[in-house]
Chain A
Amino acid sequence: MSFVKLAPTDFVVSNDGVTAPAWTTGNPTLTSPTPSSLTAPVYVDMYASGTTTTQYSIAYGHISGSAALLYNGLVPSQSATRTIYSQFRNLVYADENSSFNFGSGNTASVDIYAININRQCYKESLFPGTFNLRLNNGGTIVNLTNDSNDATTVTYTDAGRVFNLVTGSNGSRATAADKSGATGSYGMFLPDVGLIILNPRALAAPSAQGGIGLVPTKALAGDWGNTAEYNAGKLASVLAFSGSSFTLNSYETISSDYAFVRVPNNQFNYTTNPSIISGSGALLFSTMINSPQTYMTTVGLYNDNQELLAVAKLSKPLVKDFTKEALIQVKLNW
């Protein structure tokens, strides 16, 4: 007999949360990323400096399709910025008639910046309390975080949890009453879909009002037009500026299946290893007839058809004889 059935009680499932730097550099803070292009018509990929590995993407959306060329000159208002606005509106609100609501001062925003974190970077979700975004627009600086530490209740959208973007650090606002006023909040932090929505009106405000003077072109009523303005590229150049930085950790749940392999004293004391027998099958050492010893190195996990599904190696050979028992905990990560 070489196979032993595992009982249902021999299996234990464990779920452990693991946080790690979001960026592929291994550093939680990303500085001086390289934009793929500052004149991309739809979105700009941001690479880790010196690489072409996308860390996140920036898009600009407009409710009426302003600030981008029309797909077809015969069809009004159908442009990349309208597509982007509609895409994220549907994702966040699941309502094609909603507008982005950044609170008092901008309850129906006509435009948005969307920062999509690359899936391989955020893994399962963004870890809210680690988010710090420092925007430096030519010396005008704002430090943004989310209000995850201050929020007494968590608000949910159709895209999962949502937190407000505020000035501060590490999930805590800098002052009790953060700016909102004339322009609304700085935006939304949606950790479950790896998405950050920025309020262009808040960023467009002058420094005295908490903004950085980053004004998207052809955004406001009366100035709309279907010319290529590359507003996503303008935010990308701010993020690529040496004084800007982006700090973020990912969160992932690792599900582990533990199988407890129990080796009783009276089992597995002989081996089919050919080095222990002669050609006829006789043991090479007479001392092993009554006091056999084996040295296990490998645990194989099988299905009912005795097909080898998973395998684990011990760190060193484990001696086994009629006086020894072993309990081996085999960990399977999914």
Chain B
Amino acid sequence: MGYLNGTSVVVDAILTKKGRELLARNDGSFRITQFALADDEVDYTLYNPNHPSGSAFYGEAIEKMPVLEAFPDDTQIMKYKLITLPRGTAKIPVLNVGYTEIKLKQGASLAITPQTLNYLGASSTFEQSGYIATIGDVRTMSSFKGVGINTPAVNNLNSTTTVGTVVSQTVIGTTINLSATTVNTLFGSNTTLKTTLTIVGRDSGARISVPVTITKTNV
């Protein structure tokens, strides 16, 4: 006879950079209302359905993985979310934004309308709740806006100005409009600026990350 394990796991949480920013803003935006789960560091190719010891051991290599500590950078964690789909799903939703890399000249604009593939039985669909788009360094954009979703909470988020050094900005919309910065000083002696655009489907949880390069044209 042995002792049963406890029925719950207790884990300590840390605030993310975004959490600290919203806490400092003191406008009520720091209010935890929902959760999501993720498996960022798991490599599912380690899953072995041919394990000689049987199905109980298929995930042995994954289960023995030591887990890293949490990162406070909210753009680098919770990347791959666990999602709820009907049993028997053979294809997982993925996003398509039409680009594998975004290259913009200084001052140029681009509208991105993401689509979700393999979601709710459709080969391609636009998610009803829209998409969350996060730019890693908002200084690289003179304008970064989400349009197409007009709930009060989303309008509030989309109208929020983020200031500071190398601070990400998040907007929500069915279409994301980007305009590259016209400011020369950001470039220093470089001819390009690089950042990352991350888009997550609000309904599906599907995620795509696209590198963004801004090329200096003003002399």
Contact = CB atoms under 8 A, between A and B. Distances in A.
Interface stretch (B13-21, B102-110, B189-197, B210-218): B13-21
A319 B61 CA distance: 12
A208 interface: no
B37 A269 contact: no
Contacts of B7: 327
Binding site of B, secondary structure by majority: helix, strand, loop or mixed? loop
Given A282-B90, A293-B58, A305-B154, A2 B67 contact: no
Contacts of B49: 285, 287
B44 A275 contact: yes
Interface in B69-124: 69-72, 74, 77-78, 80-85, 87-94, 117-118
A302 B84 contact: no
A294 B82 contact: yes
B157 interface: yes
Interface in A291-334: 292-320, 322, 326-333
Interface residues of B, number: 79
A267 B91 contact: no
A276 interface: yes
Contacts of B11: 299, 312-315, 328-331
- Residue of A6, A282, A294 ringed by the most chain B CB atoms within 10 A: A294
A319 B67 CA distance: 13
A312 B207 contact: no
B83 A298 contact: no
A6 to B, nearest CB: 6
Contact of B205 (A272, A308, A311): A272
A332 B16 CA distance: 12
Given A272-B92, A299-B13, A326-B9, A6 B40 contact: no
Interface stretch (A217-225, A240-248, A258-266): A258-266
A327 B13 CA distance: 15
Interface in A236-292: 259-261, 263, 266-277, 280-285, 287-290, 292
A146 B172 CA distance: 60
Contact of A329 (B10, B170, B202): B10
A270 B84 contact: yes
B8 A307 contact: no
Contacts of B172: 305-306
B32 A301 contact: yes
Contact of A308 (B16, B88, B118): B16
B62 A317 contact: yes
Contacts of A303: 22, 29-34
B206 interface: yes
B38 interface: yes
B16 A273 contact: no
B44 A272 contact: no
A182 interface: no
B90 to A, nearest CB: 5
A307 B168 CA distance: 11
B91 A331 contact: no
Contact of A298 (B39, B63, B117): B39
Contact of A301 (B35, B47, B67, B88): B35
B9 A329 contact: yes
A270 B85 contact: yes
Nearest to B90: A289
B40 A272 contact: no
A300 B78 contact: yes
- Residue of A259, A275, A282, A292 ringed by the most chain B CB atoms within 10 A: A275
Interface string B156-171: 1100000000000010
B34 A307 contact: no
A295 B39 contact: yes
Given A272-B207, A305-B29, A297 B38 contact: yes
A280 B35 contact: no
Ordered nearest first, which 9 A-B pairs have the shortest CB separation? Answer: A2-B205, A309-B19, A276-B44, A312-B13, A268-B82, A273-B80, A300-B78, A308-B74, A2-B81
